[in-house]
């Protein structure tokens, strides 16, 4: 035990929030050391082997624009790991970056995975991390990490409801006494909202824009309720009919119209969870409300929109984009909580 503690001390426990849109790496005692888009630049050599060149922002800028042998890819899609080989290389890259290759001891790693990963997928994540150099691997489910990160009283005999809206999945969890009592995951989140904007502009204006442009519009002027002063942005793209480059004016009201469907799907999923809530926990939720985490929580007015539908208070967690990573950080501090959560 003492030896284990000593090794643990020297080997810097770390956690990884392997998100569809963003990956955050946290080292115990140092906080979040990496916060980058989940995009990997890989290079294929002649005998077909792949090598990771970099992970992060620069690669996101490369999406759809890379030359020949270099490829920029998003290894997670719809909240699931689409490519395990790349994921293993990514984890290895993070371990090396976190410990600057100096550490000869292998870290314990806590990895946040989407709720709803199959046993096979969980095993694959675990094995990826082990072969990437971890000494021990713990998995934590995203709604649980989000609830811990949002400072909800997860270990108390009180129900807390968290809705984490990421890039690939919206994960809804009711947490009580250190466990997930109910959870639901849908593959409607930021990416689908971006696509809805792209499709709408294509249908209504015959204008072709990329997914990244769709995301930019969402962040810049996106709203789920009418704003006192609508926001306006100029959208540039290619006219489908003339083939020429063209631009249109797009407002927050247009975004609201374009994204009605995916936003409603998120609200419906939340309603489904409320409908199956055990009565004893329902009282707690009525009292304490619902907390939103994940980048999707930042779309203008989503708290009010959801609150109007479910007739309960809805709050946005502080720094929603960091909630899951902060939750993994807190879980790292408490080994016994980790062990409790590791009962996969």
Ligand X SMILES: Nc1ncnc2c1ncn2[C@@H]1O[C@H](COP(=O)(O)OP(=O)(O)OP(=O)(O)O)[C@@H](O)[C@H]1O
- Using CB under 6 A as the criterion, which residues of the chain lie in contact with ligand X when the complex forms? 19-22, 38, 76, 79, 142, 166-169, 189-191, 215, 218-219, 222, 294-296, 298-299, 321
Closest CB to Mg ion among residues 19, 37:
19
Nearer to ligand X, 169 or 328 (CB): 169
> What is the smallest separation between the CB atom of 284 and ligand X, expressed in angstroms?
25
Least separation in angstroms between CB 174 and Mg ion:
18
- Per partner kind, with CB cut-offs from 5 to 8 A, the member of ligand X, Mg ion, none near residue 190 is ligand X
- DSSP-assigned beta bridge partners for residue 81: 76
State in angstroms the smallest separation of the CB of 336 from ligand X.
26
Cα 149 to Cα 268: distance, rounded to the nearest angstrom: 24
Residue 37's binding partner, choosing from ligand X, Mg ion, none, with beta-carbon cut-off 5 to 8 A by kind? none
Of these partners, ligand X, Mg ion, none, which one is at the site of residue 110 (CB under 5 to 8 Å by kind)?
none
CB of 282 to ligand X, least distance (A): 26
Q: How far apart are CA 126 and CA 343, in angstroms?
A: 13
Task: Report the residue number, 235 or 292, with the smaller CB distance to Mg ion.
Answer: 292
Per partner kind, with CB cut-offs from 5 to 8 A, the member of Mg ion, ligand X, none near residue 169 is ligand X
Kindly state the smallest distance separating residue 171's Cβ from ligand X, in Å.
7
Judged by beta carbon, residue 113 or residue 281, the one nearer ligand X is 113
Q: Which is nearer to Mg ion, 218 or 256 (CB)?
A: 218
Per-residue DSSP letter, 228: S
- Residue spans of alpha helices (H) in the chain: 2-11, 57-62, 84-99, 119-131, 142-149, 190-205, 211-221, 252-258, 260-275, 279-288, 302-310, 323-333, 335-341
**Residue 110: which of 148, 79, 74 has the closest Cα?**
148
Q: Which of 167, 161, 212 is nearest to 188 (CA)?
A: 167
CB distance 310 to 290 below 8 Å: yes
Residues making contact with Mg ion (CB under 5 A) = 19, 166
Output the six-digit token pair for 29.
Answer: 């005692």
Phi, psi of 292 (to 5 degrees): -100, 135
């Amino acid at each position: 035990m003492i030896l284990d503690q000593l090794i643990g001390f020297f080997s810097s426990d770390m956690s990884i929030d392997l998100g569809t849109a963003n990956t955050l790496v946290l080292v115990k005692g140092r906080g979040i050391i990496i916060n980058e888009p989940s995009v990997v630049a890989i290079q294929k050599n002649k005998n077909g082997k792949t090598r990771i060149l970099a992970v992060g922002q620069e690669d996101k800028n490369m999406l759809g624009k890379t030359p020949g042998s270099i490829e920029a890819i998003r290894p997670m899609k719809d909240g699931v790991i689409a490519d395990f080989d790349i994921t293993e290389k990514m984890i290895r890259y993070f371990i090396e970056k976190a410990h600057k290759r100096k550490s000869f001891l292998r870290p314990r790693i806590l990895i946040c995975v989407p709720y709803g990963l199959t046993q096979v997928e969980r095993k694959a994540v675990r094995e990826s991390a082990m072969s990437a150099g971890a000494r021990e691997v713990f998995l934590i489910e995203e709604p649980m990490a989000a609830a811990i990160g949002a400072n909800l009283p997860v270990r108390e005999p009180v129900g807390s409801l968290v809705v984490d809206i990421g890039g690939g999945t919206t994960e809804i969890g009711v947490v009580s006494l250190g466990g997930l009592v109910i959870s639901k995951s849908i593959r409607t989140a930021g990416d689908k909202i971006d696509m809805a904007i792209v499709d709408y502009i294509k249908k209504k204006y015959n204008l072709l824009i990329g997914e990244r442009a769709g995301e930019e519009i969402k962040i810049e002027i996106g709203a789920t309720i009418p704003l006192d002063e609508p926001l306006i942005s100029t959208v540039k793209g290619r006219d489908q009919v003339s083939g020429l480059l063209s631009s249109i004016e797009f407002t927050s009201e247009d975004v609201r119209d374009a994204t009605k469907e995916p936003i409603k799907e998120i609200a419906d999923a939340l309603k489904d969870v409320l409908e199956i809530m055990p009565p004893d926990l329902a009282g707690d939720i009525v009292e304490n409300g619902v907390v939103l985490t994940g980048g999707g929580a930042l779309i203008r007015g989503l708290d009010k929109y959801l609150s109007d539908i479910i007739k309960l208070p809805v709050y946005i967690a502080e720094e929603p984009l960091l909630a899951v990573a902060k939750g993994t950080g807190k879980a790292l501090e408490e080994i016994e909580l980790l062990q409790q959560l590791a009962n996969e």
